[in-house]
Each structure stands twice: as C-alpha cells, then as structure tokens.
Amino acid sequence: MNSKLCILLVIAVCLTLVHAGGKYCPEPKRKGPCHMRYKDNQCCKQSDCPSQSTCCKLPCGNVCLRESPVATNGVPVKDGEPCEPSYYTKKLKNFYSAQNSVFTSIS
C-alpha cells in the first residue's frame, strides 16, 4: 500500500512540475539576423500573452509562443524592458478593447 501511495505522489509531483514548468521559450526556428527592416513586437511583457504562452525574443521582434516544458536557448522577454508594440498590435488591442466595451454596455 505504501509503495502505491509513493508512486502516486511522485506522479503528482512530476505532473505539477511539468504543468507549472518555467516560462521557457522554445528554441528559435530561424537563426541569424532579421530579414525585415523593422521589428514587429506582438508582445512587450508576459501579461500580453495568453495562458500557456510566453513572450519570447526573436530576431524580427517579440512574439507569444507556447511555453516549452524544458529550458532551451530561447530568450523570454523580461517585464520592464524597453519595447514598442507594433502598429498592428496597437490597432488590434484598441479594436478588441472597443468591442469589449460595446458588449459590456449591452449587458
């Protein structure tokens, strides 16, 4: 009975560690400098990304990527670093916040 309890406890701890993970960025798929003339930052802090995602630095700008359960060479954005969201990211945020306020005023 004790061995079954120990096994269940080990499994629970492992699942918790995998789920909690760290905020690891996946390995970048493309190496080297950016081929564009500008950076397109889709996120500037971790709270800009949905759950299970993290804001990662890539050569062409910051993007929200699905978290990696293990440490890689990917670089997460540190909150408070200088960052300017792209023009389109600002437009989308304004659009969604306007839509949200319309739906809130209806209900």
Q: Would you write out the chain's pLDDT as a tens digit for each of its 107 residues?
A: 576 655 655 565 444 444 444 679 998 887 888 888 888 999 999 999 998 999 999 999 999 999 999 999 999 999 999 988 887 777 666 666 666 554 444 54
- In this prediction the pTM is 0.61
Q: Which residues contact 7 (CB under 8 A, 6 or more apart)?
A: none
Residue spans per domain, the chain: 23-91
Query: What DSSP assignment string belongs to the chain?
Result: -HHHHHHHHHHHHHHHHHHH---BPPPPSS-SS-SSSS---S-SSGGGSPTTEEEEEETTEEEEEEPBSS--S-EEPPTTS-----HHHHHHHHHHHHHHHHHHHH-
